[in-house]
């Protein structure tokens, strides 16, 4: 191994003595020193009286000592515990200690055999006697089967009952047909529900479901209105439309029908002036008559 | 199952078809009046097929909104204001299809159609009244 000079220098600074020592073991022992050491130590101990001779010690132990050693130790422990329990009980309750191992509750001999009779002498009756008291009939027939049937009664019973019932042969209905009827019934029920719902949903107000402005030109033509400019005959188209239809249409378009009627009477110029009303009570009647006449001329 | 569905379909269709056929005659008349309105406006505005295809769907929305307002229980001024708001709202949409001039014409003709109807109503009533009072003819 090489010396590390730095460590050597450091050691030299710390302890010149140590650094001067060579790398050799200072502690040396003679050859075989440890092999003889126990014997030497034992001999010294014997001489000083600390340890007795082993041969002499073995002779002091009785024969079979270790066989009974465990039992001996256990017995001693139990004895000590028993003593300590006894002492603690005595300390807690001297009275309990004094009556220990004596049963304080004692009953005379045969006490329970006669107890029931002492409680209720009536119970001494046997079951048979008791039954006799309640019902003599039952006591008489108690072990007898009173229900008897003739031999083979149950073998022919079902035939007898059927013959008495006079059952008509059941009408045979094919399964397929039943299923068919059921199918129609369900279909009818569902249809009913659909129709009922439809009636409820469809608005009852006349004209309520009309969306006329969605009418396409084709639909208009379908309704019989001719749109070709040369042959428009609007007047003819109005022919089938009644008074009530027009009123309904105007109302549905937010028109006040009465106001519209008055407005349609004509130009305001032709209306009577306020003075006319003052001069003649029948101004309005005359005016209306004039309008009617004019309309008739048209 | 297919047969079952078929039965239901036939029964239901039959009912609704019948309901349609026997539909309220009043509704037919209302539809006819509306068709006359469409015819009148189409004619007055000189709508081409292309314009009509664009115009009437927008008009349908316009009409729905106006009718919704008319169905409400409102005062006259309030109702007119709401209708006017709707007209203003749709003015741009109509202008894009018809141009501003014809949009104005549309709003005028829309009113005139109903005025014409009112006039017709008045005449119908007068005629009926006169038929009941023939003496007036002499005056």
pLDDT tens for B54-72 read 999 999 999 999 989 988 8
- From the CA of B92, how many Å to the nearest CA of chain A? 19
Residue range B70-98, pLDDT digits in tens: 888 888 899 999 999 999 999 999 999 99
Count CB-CB contacts under 10 A for residue B32: 21
A99-110 CB burial, b ≥16 within 10 A, e <16? eeeeeeeeeeee
DSSP class per residue in chain B: -HHHHHHHHHHHHHHHHHHHHT--HHHHHHHHHHHHHHHHHHHHHT--HHHHHHHHHHHHHHHHHHHHHHHS---HHHHHHHHHHHHHHHHHHHHHHH-HHHHHHHHHHHHHHHHHHHHHHHHHHHHHHHHH-GGGGT-
A148-159 CB burial, b ≥16 within 10 A, e <16? eeeeeeeeeeee
SS3 for A104? Answer: coil
Q: Is A267 left (phi over 0), alpha (psi -120 to 50) or beta?
A: beta
Residue, of A257 and B115, whose pLDDT is higher: B115
Q: What rounded mean pLDDT belongs to chain A? A: 74
Task: Kindly state the average pLDDT of the residues A212-221.
Answer: 50
SS3 for A282? Answer: coil
Instruction: From B42, B58, B62, B24, select the one nearest B106 (Cα to Cα).
Output: B42
pTM of the model: 0.40
Nearest Cβ partner of A292 from B11, B66, B126?
A: B126
Q: A237 and B36 in contact by Cβ < 8 A?
A: yes
Nearest Cβ partner of B30 from A194, A198, A210?
A: A210
Residue with token string 């229980």: B73
Chain A residues within an 8 Å CB radius of B34: 210, 212-213, 215, 249
B2 band by pLDDT with thresholds 50, 70 and 90: low
Q: A232 and B129 in contact by Cβ < 8 A?
A: no
Q: How far is the C-alpha of A170 from the C-alpha of A176, rounded, in Å?
A: 17
Instruction: From A206, A208, A234, A207, select the one nearest A220 (Cα to Cα).
Output: A234
Q: B27 and A292 in contact by Cβ < 8 A?
A: no
Identify the pLDDT of residue B97.
92
Identify the pLDDT of residue A2.
56
Nearest Cβ partner of A220 from B4, B39, B119?
A: B39
Q: What rounded mean pLDDT belongs to chain B? A: 82
Chain B residues within an 8 Å CB radius of A235: none
Indicate whether B1 pLDDT > 70.
no
CB A214 within 8 A of CB B60: yes
Which of A144-158, A261-275, B25-39 has the weakest average pLDDT?
A261-275
Identify the pLDDT of residue A74.
92
* A253: DSSP letter: T
Identify the pLDDT of residue A298.
47
- From the CA of B99, how many Å to the nearest CA of chain A? 20
Q: Identify from B18, B39, B45, B139 which residue to disrupt to test chain A contact, counting A C-beta atoms within 10 A and taking the largest count.
A: B39
Q: How far is the C-alpha of A167 from the C-alpha of A201, rounded, in Å?
A: 53
Residue, of B24 and A108, whose pLDDT is higher: A108
Q: How many residues are listed for chain A in this entry?
A: 298
Residue of A nearest to B27 (CA): A207
Instruction: From B46, B106, B127, B37, select the one nearest A234 (Cα to Cα).
Output: B37
Residue range B34-53, pLDDT digits in tens: 888 888 898 889 888 888 89
Q: B30 and A206 in contact by Cβ < 8 A?
A: yes
Q: How far is the C-alpha of B31 from the C-alpha of B20, rounded, in Å?
A: 14
Task: Kindly state the average pLDDT of the residues A163-173.
Answer: 78
Q: How far is the C-alpha of A245 from the C-alpha of A115, rounded, in Å?
A: 111
Chain B residues within an 8 Å CB radius of A291: 126
A residues 240-269 near B, CB within 8 Å?
240-250, 252-255, 257, 260-261, 263-265
Nearest Cβ partner of B114 from A194, A220, A255?
A: A255
Q: Establish if A100 touches chain B: CB-CB under 8 angstroms.
A: no
Burial class of A212 by CB neighbour count within 10 A (0 to 12, 13 to 18, 19+) = buried
Tokens of B104: 């104005």
Q: B124 and A265 in contact by Cβ < 8 A?
A: no
Task: Kindly state the average pLDDT of the residues A252-280.
Answer: 72
Chain B residues within an 8 Å CB radius of A223: 31-32, 35
Q: Establish if A287 touches chain B: CB-CB under 8 angstroms.
A: no
- Output Rg (C-alpha) for chain A, integer angstroms: 69
Q: How far is the C-alpha of A140 from the C-alpha of A132, rounded, in Å?
A: 8
- From the CA of B136, how many Å to the nearest CA of chain A? 8
A132 band by pLDDT with thresholds 50, 70 and 90: confident
Residue range A24-83, pLDDT digits in tens: 777 888 888 888 889 889 999 888 877 666 555 555 677 788 888 899 899 989 888 877
- Output Rg (C-alpha) for chain B, integer angstroms: 22
Q: ipTM, 2 decimals?
A: 0.76
CB A109 within 8 A of CB A102: no
B residues 90-109 near A, CB within 8 Å?
none
Identify the pLDDT of residue A211.
43
Chain B residues within an 8 Å CB radius of A238: 36, 120
Burial class of B104 by CB neighbour count within 10 A (0 to 12, 13 to 18, 19+) = middle
A181-187: long-range contacts, CB 8 A cutoff, minimum separation 24: A183/B3, A183/B4, A183/B7, A184/B7, A186/B4, A187/B4, A187/B7, A187/B8, A187/B11
A residues 12-41 near B, CB within 8 Å?
none
Tokens of A288: 């209306």
Highest mean pLDDT among A80-89, A121-130, B130-139: A80-89
Q: How far is CA A253 from CA A94, A107, A213, A242, B67, in A?
A: 116, 115, 12, 17, 6
Identify the pLDDT of residue B106.
94
């Amino acid at each position: 191994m090489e010396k590390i000079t730095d460590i050597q220098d450091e050691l030299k600074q710390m302890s010149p003595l140590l650094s001067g020592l060579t790398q050799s073991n200072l502690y040396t022992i003679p050859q075989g020193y440890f092999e003889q050491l126990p014997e030497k130590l034992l001999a010294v101990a014997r001489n000083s009286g600390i340890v007795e001779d082993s041969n002499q010690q073995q002779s002091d132990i009785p024969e079979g000592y270790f066989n009974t050693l465990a039992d001996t130790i256990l017995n001693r422990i139990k004895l000590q515990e028993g003593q300590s329990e006894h002492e603690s009980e005595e300390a807690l309750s001297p009275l309990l200690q004094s009556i220990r191992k004596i049963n304080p509750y004692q009953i005379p001999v045969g006490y329970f055999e006669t107890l029931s009779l002492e409680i209720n002498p009536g119970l001494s009756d046997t079951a048979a006697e008791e039954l006799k008291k309640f019902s003599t009939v039952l006591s008489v027939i108690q072990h007898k089967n009173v229900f008897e049937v003739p031999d083979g009664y149950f073998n022919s019973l079902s035939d007898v009952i059927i013959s008495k019932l006079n059952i008509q042969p059941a009408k045979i209905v094919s399964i397929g047909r039943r299923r068919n009827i059921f199918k129609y019934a369900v279909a009818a029920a569902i249809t009913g529900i659909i129709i009922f719902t439809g009636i409820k949903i469809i608005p009852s107000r006349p004209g309520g479901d009309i969306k006329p402005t969605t009418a396409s030109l084709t639909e208009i033509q379908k309704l019989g209105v001719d749109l070709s400019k040369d042959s428009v005959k609007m007047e003819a188209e109005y022919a089938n439309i009644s008074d009530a239809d027009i009123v309904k249409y105007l109302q549905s378009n937010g028109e006040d029908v009465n106001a519209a009627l008055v407005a349609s009477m004509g130009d305001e110029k032709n209306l009577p002036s306020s003075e006319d009303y003052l001069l003649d009570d029948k101004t309005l009647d005359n005016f209306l008559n004039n309008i009617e006449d004019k309309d008739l001329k048209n | 199952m297919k047969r079952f569905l078929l039965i239901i379909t036939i029964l239901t269709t039959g009912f609704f078809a019948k309901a349609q056929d026997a539909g309220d005659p009043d509704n037919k008349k209302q539809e006819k009046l509306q068709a006359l309105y469409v015819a009148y406006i189409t004619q007055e505005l000189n709508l081409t097929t292309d314009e009509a295809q664009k115009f009437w769907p927008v008009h349908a929305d316009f009409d729905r909104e106006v009718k919704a307002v008319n169905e409400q229980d409102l005062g006259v001024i309030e109702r007119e204001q709401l209708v006017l708001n709707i007209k203003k709202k749709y003015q741009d949409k109509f202008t894009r299809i018809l141009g501003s001039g014809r949009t104005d014409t549309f709003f005028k003709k829309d009113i005139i159609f109903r005025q014409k109807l009112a006039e017709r109503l008045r005449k119908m009533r007068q005629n009926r009244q006169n038929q009941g009072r023939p003496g007036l003819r002499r005056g």
